């Protein structure tokens, strides 16, 4: 095993000099006589010039990482007249501190661990851990680009340790495992998703043998908790372009195991020579289109789920061809189920996605016909504060290969949005609430909560949205009296 790179990257001197935290770690390491190294993602991202991505540092030492962390925290805190908390995880033999780099003023989490080697039981991703050498620690890393290490001791300060040609893989933009990929993925199947995630985030290729192992070991993903799977899936969704990661997941067979509803979208069926678009690749294009204009994870999830019910609603008619009637409503009903299955939050984020799935055809329908103020009011009322997100999704949903058709639709969307702005300015419908509420109705007609109250509320809302009355108290009150009279109710004086 080689210990240093023949041509050491010149950037490493910059790495150590730019980040003053390393000086404190070096001093503590030498005081404790511990061989110490910075390893993994920090080195990788620095060499890739992804400095904005650097939020944490992994430190490995030959000995006790907890002892080293305590020493660094104490010396740093004493010099800066502050208290530095050390979070200790005895079970894992690790410790975490948060320091502010004196030069950049950036807060960075620093994790300390003693070098170790690991062995795994087949039915668990939790390893048996024992003390080891730096070589042992680098062998247990998931990918060669994450096994890069730099010495932090005075005598060897800046020495680059790259036993698996990770620097070469970094420069060739390749994801590869340090050891046999079958063993790497069998030991910890989450690494399969991490391989796809890094490829998607960095725009790297997955080395041939490593990718083949994703296919042969894919069933092992079943021992991983859904929460961990979804964490990696969300990181893939947030990469740019996200479609690359999904294509890799599909090709190796992992997507079918972790998100079967999405693979159900794949394929084109023909009857009498009539086919429909491949909704899997259409969804990926919509997702990429959304990613170009927004980093919002939940808007991206809306793109993923907007056509999720098309397989369930697909029908063929001899004259009309393939139809997917009601897929937006069924998709909205599927959204809570999918969120629950994937352990995504069942809160306002889910309701946001559900709303956009349900409404995603509405603006397109407005494009196809004469736009009435009533239709605009209803859309603004239902979309509310999420109108811009809905329109972003709808624009992204125009994926025809006919460039002129796409431009024509987008120009029509411009007209729709202009009308929406005009109606919104006039009616303030995003925060729309009828001036007559349930309490007023019950007090006026001496009612308790009942079906009659609900009917009158709906009638008032519909009248306002249709433009029959203005959302002003006197006008709405008079309308309420008429509706109450229709139900046999009399105003109580």
For 11-171, which CATH class?
Answer: alpha beta
Instruction: Outline which parts of the chain fall under CATH 1.10.110.30.
Output: 173-258
Average of per-residue pLDDT across 377-405: 86
Instruction: Give tens-digit pLDDT for 403-456.
Output: 777 787 788 788 888 888 877 777 665 556 778 888 899 999 999 999 999 999
Query: Residues near 377 by Cβ (< 8 Å), separated by ≥ 6?
Result: 423, 427, 429, 464, 465, 466, 467
Higher-pLDDT residue of 212, 130: 212
The pLDDT score that the predictor gives to residue 179 is 93
pLDDT band for position 4 (cuts 50, 70, 90): very low
Which ranges constitute the DSSP H helices of 19-64? 21-31, 41-47
* Structure confidence at residue 3 (pLDDT): 46
How is residue 90 annotated by DSSP? Answer: T
Under 8 Å between Cβ of 398 and 368: no
Contact by Cβ (8 Å): 286, 397: yes
Tokens describing residue 158: 């800046």
Ranges in the chain annotated CATH 3.30.460.10: 11-171
* Across 173-177, 193-197, 267-271, 401-405, least confident range: 401-405
The CATH architecture one would assign to domain 173-258 is Orthogonal Bundle (1.10)
Which pLDDT band, with edges at 50, 70 and 90, does 349 fall under?
very high
pLDDT tens-digit series, residues 40-66: 999 999 889 886 667 789 999 999 999
Main-chain dihedrals φ then ψ at residue 100, nearest 5 degrees: -105, 120
């Amino acid at each position: 095993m080689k210990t240093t790179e023949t041509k050491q990257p010149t950037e490493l001197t910059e790495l150590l000099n730019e980040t003053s935290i390393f000086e404190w770690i070096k001093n503590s390491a030498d005081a404790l006589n511990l061989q110490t190294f910075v390893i993994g993602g920090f080195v990788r991202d620095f060499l890739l010039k992804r400095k904005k991505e650097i939020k944490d540092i992994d430190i490995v030492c030959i000995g006790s990482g907890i002892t080293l962390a305590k020493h660094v925290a104490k010396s740093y805190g004493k010099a800066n007249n502050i208290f530095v908390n050390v979070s200790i995880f005895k079970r894992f033999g690790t410790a975490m501190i948060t320091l502010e780099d004196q030069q950049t003023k950036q807060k960075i989490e620093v994790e300390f661990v003693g070098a170790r080697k690991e062995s795994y039981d087949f039915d668990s991703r939790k390893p048996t851990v024992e003390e080891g050498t730096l070589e042992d620690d680098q062998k247990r890393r998931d990918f060669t680009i994450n096994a890069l290490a730099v010495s932090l001791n005075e005598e060897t300060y800046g020495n680059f340790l790259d036993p698996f040609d990770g620097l070469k893989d970094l420069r060739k933009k390749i994801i590869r495992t340090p050891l046999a990929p079958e063993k790497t993925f069998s030991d910890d199947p989450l690494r399969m998703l991490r391989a796809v995630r890094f490829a998607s985030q960095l725009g790297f290729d997955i080395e041939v043998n490593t990718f083949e192992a994703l296919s042969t070991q894919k069933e092992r993903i079943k021992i991983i908790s859904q929460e961990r799977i979804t964490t990696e899936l969300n990181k893939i969704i947030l990469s740019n372009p996200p479609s690359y990661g999904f294509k890799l997941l599909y090709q190796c067979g992992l997507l079918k195991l972790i998100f079967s509803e999405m693979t159900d979208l794949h394929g084109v069926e023909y009857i009498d020579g009539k086919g429909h678009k491949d909704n899997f690749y259409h969804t990926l294009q919509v997702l990429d289109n959304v990613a170009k204009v927004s980093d919002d994870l939940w808007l991206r999830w809306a793109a993923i789920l907007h056509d999720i019910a098309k397989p369930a609603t697909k029908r063929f008619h001899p004259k009309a061809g393939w139809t997917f009637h009601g897929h937006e409503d069924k998709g909205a009903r599927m959204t809570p189920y999918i969120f629950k299955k994937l352990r995504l939050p069942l809160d306002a984020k889910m309701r946001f996605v559900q709303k956009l799935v349900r409404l995603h055809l509405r603006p397109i329908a407005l494009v196809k016909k004469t736009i009435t103020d009533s239709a605009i009011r209803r859309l603004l009322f239902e979309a509310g504060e999420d109108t811009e997100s809905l329109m972003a999704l709808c624009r992204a949903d125009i994926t025809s290969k006919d460039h002129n058709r796409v431009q024509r639709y987008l120009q029509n969307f411009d007209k729709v949005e202009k009308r929406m702005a005009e109606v919104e300015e006039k009616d303030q419908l995003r925060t729309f609430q009828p001036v007559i509420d349930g309490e007023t109705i019950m007090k006026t007609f001496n009612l308790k909560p009942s079906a009659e109250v609900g009917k009158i509320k709906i009638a008032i809302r519909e009248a306002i949205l249709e433009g029959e009355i203005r959302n002003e108290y006197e006008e709405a009150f008079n309308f309420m009296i008429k509706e109450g009279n229709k139900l046999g109710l009399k105003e109580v004086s």
